[in-house]
C-alpha cells in the first residue's frame, strides 16, 4: 500500500519554505524551479515507492557523478541532451525557422579558444600514427550562396577515442581548430581519422547504463560549431558512415542529414598529389546556415565550457 502525503498542505508548505518562496532574497526563477523539483521528486518517491536505501544510494551516486565530472556525459546518455535538440527543433518549426543543416548535441568535450587558421588547417600534431584524413567542405546560406568568413570550429577525438585537454597526454588543442572559410565558403583540414569511444567502463555513467542494460559507445564523429555574422550559430556533428554504432549511439547524436561518408584511398598517386604516403581518407561535408532572426542567435549558448574564451 503506498501512502501519499506530498499533496498535503503541510508538506506543500514545507517545500514552499525550502524553496525560499517565503522570503524576498535570492533568485525568483530558481525558487520556482526548485519548488517544482521538490514537488515532483516527492511525487516520484511516492508513486514508485522509492525506498530510503534507494534514495540515499542516489544521493551517493550524485556525489560520485560530480566527483568524476561526468554529469554532462550522463545527460547525453539519458537522451536529455538530444531531447533539448528535439525541443528546439519543435520551437523553431512553430515560428517557421526551418531548413539548413540539422543541429545535434555538443557533448561535454568542447574547449574554447582553439587556434584560428584561414581557409585550411592541419589539426593533428603529427605525434600519432593515425590514418591521414582530409576533411573539407563549404558553408552555404539558405539560398545556396557560399558564406565567406564563416568560422568552422571543429574538434574530434584521436585514434584512442580521447580528446585533447581532457586527455592530458595530448598536446594543447590537438585535433581542435577554428578554420575561417575562404571567398568560396570553403574550409579544408588535414587531420587523422578519429575513433569512436565509450564511457569510462569504471565511471558512474557506465554504471547506470549497465543497470539499464545499455552500452555506452559512440560512433566515430567530428564536432562542429559553425558561425558567421548574420547567420544563426549551428552546433552539430557528423557521424561517420560504416561505424557499427552509427545508428546505435549511446548519446543519440546521429541524425538524418548528419552522416558523413568517409572514403579510404590506397592509390599511391593520389596520396602523392596530397603530399602523404600510403592509405588515407577523405570526408566531404557541406553546411547550410539559417539567417539569424536576432543578433543574439549568432552566438553559441552560454553553457559553461572548458576554458571559457580566448
Site residues (CB under 5 A) for Fe ion?
A: 107
Q: Give the residue with the Cβ less far from Fe ion, 48 or 306.
A: 306
Taking the complex as a whole, how short is the minimal distance between the CB of residue 61 and Fe ion, in angstroms?
A: 24
- Considering beta carbons, is residue 38 or 74 the nearer one to Fe ion? 74
Task: Output the smallest distance, CB 166 to Fe ion, in A.
Answer: 10
DSSP states along 223-268: EEEEE-TTB--EEEEEEETT-TTTT--TT----TT-EEPEEEE--H
Residue 223 CB, nearest distance to Fe ion (Å)?
6
Concatenate the DSSP letters of all residues of 113-164 into one string: -PPEEESEEE-S-S-S---EEEEEEEEE-TTS-B-TT-EEEEEE--TTS--B
Closer by beta carbon to Fe ion, 6 or else 164: 164
- Distance, C-alpha 239 to centroid of its chain: 12
Which residue number, 16 or 214, has a Cβ lying nearer to Fe ion? 214
Closest distance of CB 176 from Fe ion, Å: 12
Q: What is the number of the residue whose Cβ is closest to Fe ion?
A: 107
Among 289, 245, 232, 241, which Cα is nearest to 101's? 289
Q: Cβ 263 to Fe ion, closest distance in Å?
A: 22
The rounded distance, in Å, linking the Cα atoms of 57 and 53 is: 6
Q: Which is nearer to Fe ion, 76 or 208 (CB)?
A: 76
Amino acid at each position: 500500500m503506498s501512502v501519499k502525503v506530498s499533496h498535503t498542505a503541510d508538506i506543500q508548505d514545507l517545500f514552499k519554505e525550502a524553496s525560499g518562496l517565503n522570503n524576498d532574497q535570492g533568485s525568483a526563477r530558481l525558487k520556482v524551479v526548485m519548488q517544482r523539483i521538490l514537488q515532483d521528486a516527492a511525487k516520484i518517491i511516492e508513486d514508485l515507492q522509492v525506498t530510503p536505501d534507494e534514495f540515499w544510494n542516489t544521493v551517493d551516486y550524485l556525489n560520485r557523478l560530480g566527483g568524476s565530472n561526468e554529469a554532462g556525459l550522463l545527460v547525453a546518455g539519458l537522451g536529455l541532451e538530444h531531447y533539448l535538440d528535439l525541443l528546439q527543433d519543435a520551437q523553431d518549426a512553430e515560428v517557421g525557422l526551418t531548413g539548413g543543416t540539422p543541429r545535434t548535441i555538443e557533448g561535454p568535450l568542447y574547449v574554447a579558444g582553439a587556434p584560428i587558421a584561414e581557409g585550411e588547417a592541419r589539426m593533428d600534431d603529427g605525434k600519432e600514427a593515425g590514418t591521414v584524413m582530409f576533411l573539407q567542405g563549404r558553408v552555404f546560406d539558405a539560398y545556396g550562396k557560399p558564406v565567406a568568413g564563416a568560422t568552422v570550429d571543429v574538434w574530434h577525438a584521436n585514434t584512442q577515442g580521447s580528446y585533447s585537454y581532457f586527455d592530458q597526454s595530448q598536446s594543447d588543442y590537438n585535433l581542435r581548430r577554428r578554420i575561417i572559410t575562404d571567398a568560396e565558403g570553403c574550409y579544408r583540414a588535414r587531420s587523422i581519422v578519429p575513433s569512436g569511444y565509450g564511457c569510462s567502463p569504471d565511471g558512474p555513467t557506465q554504471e547506470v547504463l549497465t543497470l539499464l542494460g545499455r552500452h555506452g559507445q559512440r560512433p566515430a564523429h567530428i564536432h562542429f560549431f559553425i558561425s558567421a555574422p548574420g547567420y544563426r550559430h549551428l552546433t552539430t556533428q557528423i557521424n561517420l558512415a560504416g561505424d557499427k554504432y552509427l545508428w546505435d549511439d549511446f548519446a543519440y547524436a546521429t541524425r538524418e542529414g548528419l552522416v558523413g561518408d568517409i572514403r579510404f584511398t590506397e592509390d599511391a598517386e593520389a596520396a602523392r598529389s596530397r603530399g602523404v604516403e600510403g592509405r588515407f581518407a577523405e570526408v566531404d561535408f557541406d553546411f547550410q546556415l539559417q539567417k539569424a532572426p536576432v543578433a543574439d542567435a549568432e552566438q553559441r549558448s552560454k553553457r559553461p565550457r572548458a576554458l571559457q574564451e580566448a
